[in-house]
């Protein structure tokens, strides 16, 4: 049996051992595959998708996640973690994700218990072992399981399995919460998160695929995939992007010539996220 098939079978066995499961669902590549496989292996009545509605989740991503859950005929409930009520999270220390995930998974676990679901699962994969992910510690403290990681599935393999399953997320660009655009030590507020979301929507509407707008006060630092840099610096596109991003409240619009890379704000920590 090919190695990927072995891992897929291991994932099935892990899920069967869990029984009834509540899945932290975001509509991203990983959690979407996990939800699809869990539904196939355990059946609809034994799977609960839990979507967190927070200011750090773009409205477009929220709507897409709801559509995905509906297309899979999954039971999906929405929780409101309200992480902005936690001063530790708002202060935005280097381990901000710890406080976010602690709040998030506590809410998911509560909903799971109330509905008779014994296990809470997340979409962490085998590649996440090498990343800077303080939120992982919060998940472990709360007993959250990571079946994709435990099955040894990498991001590339998850994309391959997603393609086999016909999931529209198979080639979806990597997505992180909007708070990841704010440098550590800069307060996370609903206003800043909304400003970043609007600025990134400018790039999405301009047809860019992989991008981030990093928030540095009145400076918007744009990252796009290296292959997309030439189009962004073309006069007509550049001028419109600058104009539209400034309209969202930024005084200066800069382009990071290194291009998009995951967790660029962690570079000062010597870690990647």
**pLDDT over 70, % of the chain:** 95
Q: Are 127 and 154 in contact (CB under 8 A)?
A: yes
pLDDT grade, residue 130 (50/70/90)? low
pLDDT grade, residue 272 (50/70/90)? very low
Q: Are 74 and 49 in contact (CB under 8 A)?
A: yes
Instruction: Provide the CB-side half-sphere exposure for 119 (13 A, CA).
Output: 17
Does the pLDDT value for residue 76 go beyond 50?
Answer: yes
Could you tell me which residues are beta bridge partners of residue 82? Answer: none
pLDDT given for residue 129 in this prediction: 78
The chain-wide mean pLDDT, for the chain, equals: 94
Cα–Cα distance measured from residue 61 to residue 175, given in angstroms and rounded to the nearest whole number: 9
pLDDT mean over 16-31: 97
Cα–Cα distance measured from residue 5 to residue 11, given in angstroms and rounded to the nearest whole number: 10
pLDDT mean over 7-34: 97
pLDDT mean over 159-181: 95
pLDDT grade, residue 135 (50/70/90)? confident
Does the pLDDT value for residue 174 go beyond 80?
Answer: yes
- Per-residue model confidence as pLDDT tens digits over 224-242: 999 999 999 999 999 999 9
Interacting residues of 57 by C-beta distance below 8 A, sequence separation 6+: 26, 177, 178
- Per-residue model confidence as pLDDT tens digits over 195-219: 999 999 999 999 999 999 999 999 9
Cα–Cα distance measured from residue 203 to residue 175, given in angstroms and rounded to the nearest whole number: 14
């Amino acid at each position: 049996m090919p190695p990927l098939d072995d891992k897929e079978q291991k994932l099935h066995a892990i899920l069967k051992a869990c029984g009834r499961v509540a899945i932290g669902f975001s509509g991203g590549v990983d959690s979407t595959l996990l939800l699809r496989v869990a539904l196939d292996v355990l059946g609809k009545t034994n799977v609960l998708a839990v979507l967190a509605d927070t200011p750090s989740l773009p409205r477009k991503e929220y709507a897409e996640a709801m559509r995905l859950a509906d297309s899979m005929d999954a039971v999906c409930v929405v929780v409101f973690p309200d992480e902005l009520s936690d001063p530790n999270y708002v202060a935005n220390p280097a381990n901000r994700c710890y406080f976010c995930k602690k709040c998030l998974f506590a809410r998911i676990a509560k909903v799971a218990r109330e509905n008779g679901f014994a296990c809470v699962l997340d979409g962490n994969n085998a590649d996440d072992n090498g990343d800077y992910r303080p939120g992982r510690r919060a998940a472990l403290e709360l007993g959250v399981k990571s079946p994709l990681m435990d099955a040894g599935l990498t991001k590339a393999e998850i994309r391959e399995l997603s393609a086999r399953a016909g999931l529209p997320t198979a080639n979806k660009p990597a997505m992180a919460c909007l708070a990841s655009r704010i440098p550590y030590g800069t307060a996370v507020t609903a206003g800043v998160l909304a400003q970043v979301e609007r600025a990134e929507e400018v790039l999405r509407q301009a047809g860019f695929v992989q991008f981030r707008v990093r928030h540095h006060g009145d400076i918007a630092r744009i990252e796009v995939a290296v292959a997309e840099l030439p189009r962004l610096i073309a006069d007509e596109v550049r001028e419109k992007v600058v104009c539209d991003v400034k309209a969202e409240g930024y005084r200066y619009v800069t382009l990071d010539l290194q291009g998009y890379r995951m967790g660029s704000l962690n570079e000062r920590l010597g870690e990647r996220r």
